């Protein structure tokens, strides 16, 4: 049984007179405890797909099921990590992490103090617990944001280009941080990215999407050994996968932009 399944999902946006088809007849299954990455050029509807699973959008046609129930709105079973810093600027790091558990809906879930303490340690933010988001670096901010979502212990993590705003060094460190958490907690993760390396390195399954209209072009099984290591990136199985994905994404992007292919 798939944890998340999309059956012939179409999503159209009406803006004034024009109608944009963000997703066209998309079907996808995400298994329990699997990491699925969505990759593709901008405008391919990958963020829309994530928003549908999160419940921020409703499909124009088709069905989005989570644990066999149609999605009816956002909920704490699906934690969303956004690209922009999703921390409350008026709360300290500690209070940001505790925010979810302090809500009426999650109060009975766990002892907030214990959870916060654990997550501060896990994310290496213990020394910065009293700082406000504006006083943190980009990487620290995103770790705090991930911690604040993990605090409500969602079974699924939906991540919308979570490391897109970070420099490449910080980004690769954050990828290992995410994998470490996954090895420990084995959550189901759906992650949107435009970084092909990131898409392969993290994934059990990489979904390559094409734009206008947004469709799934290919689903690629990433059979690399776990736990992943950074130096796998220079080994041939990884390189073969990356070349394959790059070729599709590039071809589609060139086709879409109307440019004649350079090579």
Question: Please, which of residues 115-134 interact with other proteins by CB under 8 A?
Answer: 131-132, 134
x/- binding map, residues 70-99, to other proteins, per CB under 8 A? ---xxxx-xxx-x-xxx-xxxx-------x
Task: For residue 104, state whether it binds other proteins (rule: CB under 8 A).
Answer: yes
CB 140 → other proteins: shortest distance, Å?
A: 12
CB 73 → other proteins: shortest distance, Å?
A: 8
Out of 61, 105, 219, 239, the only residue in the binding site for other proteins (CB under 8 A) is 105
Out of 50, 54, 98, 120, the only residue in the binding site for other proteins (CB under 8 A) is 54
Task: Give 134 or 169: the residue with its C-beta nearer to other proteins.
Answer: 134
Q: Residues 158, 88: contact at Cβ < 8 Å? A: no
CB 159 → other proteins: shortest distance, Å?
A: 12
Residue listed under structure tokens 């989570």: 66
Task: For residue 56, state whether it binds other proteins (rule: CB under 8 A).
Answer: yes
Task: Give 108 or 259: the residue with its C-beta nearer to other proteins.
Answer: 108
Residue listed under structure tokens 């094409």: 210
N-to-C CA span, the chain: 43
How many positions of this chain bind other proteins (CB under 8 A)?
Answer: 30
CB 178 → other proteins: shortest distance, Å?
A: 18
3-class DSSP string for the chain: CCCEEEEEEEEEEEECCEEEEEEEEEEEEECCCCEEEEEECCCCCHHHHHHHHHCCCCCCEEEEEECCEECCCCCCCEEEECCCCCCCCCCCHHHHHHHHHHCHHHCCCCCHHHHHHHHHHHCCCHHHCCCCHHHCCHHHHHHHHHHHHHCCCCCEEEEECCCCCCCHHHHHHHHHHHHHHHHHHCCEEEEEECCHHHHHHHCCEEEEEECCCCEEEEEEECCCCCCCCHHHHHCHHHHHHHHHHHHHHHHHHHHHHCCCCCC
Stretch in the footprint of other proteins (CB under 8 A) among 121-129, 144-152, 167-175, 179-187: 144-152
**Nearest of 238, 221, 215 to residue 45 by alpha carbon:** 215
CB 99 → other proteins: shortest distance, Å?
A: 7
Task: Give 55 or 213: the residue with its C-beta nearer to other proteins.
Answer: 55
CB 88 → other proteins: shortest distance, Å?
A: 6
Out of 19, 61, 103, 239, the only residue in the binding site for other proteins (CB under 8 A) is 103
Task: For residue 58, state whether it binds other proteins (rule: CB under 8 A).
Answer: no
Residues near other proteins (CB under 8 A) are 54, 56, 73-76, 78-80, 82, 84-86, 88-91, 99-100, 103-106, 131-132, 134-135, 148-149, 152
């Amino acid at each position: 049984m798939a944890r998340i399944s999309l059956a012939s999902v179409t999503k159209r946006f009406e803006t004034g007179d024009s109608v944009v088809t963000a997703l066209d007849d998309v079907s996808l299954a995400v298994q329990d405890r699997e990491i699925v990455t969505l990759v593709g050029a901008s405008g391919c509807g990958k963020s829309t797909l994530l928003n549908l699973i999160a419940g921020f959008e409703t499909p124009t046609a088709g069905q989005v099921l989570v644990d066999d129930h149609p999605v009816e709105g956002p909920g704490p079973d699906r934690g969303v990590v956004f690209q922009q810093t999703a921390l409350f600027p008026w709360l300290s790091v500690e209070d940001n992490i505790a925010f979810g558990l302090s809500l009426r809906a999650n109060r009975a879930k766990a002892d907030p103090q214990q959870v916060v303490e654990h997550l501060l340690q896990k994310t290496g933010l213990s020394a910065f617990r009293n700082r406000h988001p504006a006083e943190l670096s980009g990487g620290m901010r995103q770790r705090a944001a991930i911690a604040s979502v993990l605090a409500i212990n969602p079974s699924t993590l939906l991540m919308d280009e979570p490391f897109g705003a970070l420099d490449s060094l910080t980004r690769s460190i954050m990828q290992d941080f995410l994998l470490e958490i996954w090895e420990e907690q084995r959550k189901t993760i759906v992650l949107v990215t435009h970084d092909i390396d990131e898409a392969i390195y993290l994934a059990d399954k990489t979904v390559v999407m094409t734009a206008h209209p947004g469709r799934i072009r290919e689903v690629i099984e990433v059979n690399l050994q776990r736990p992943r290591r950074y130096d796998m990136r220079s080994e041939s199985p990884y390189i073969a996968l990356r070349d394959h994905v790059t070729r599709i994404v590039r071809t589609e992007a060139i086709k879409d932009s109307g440019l004649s292919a350079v090579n």
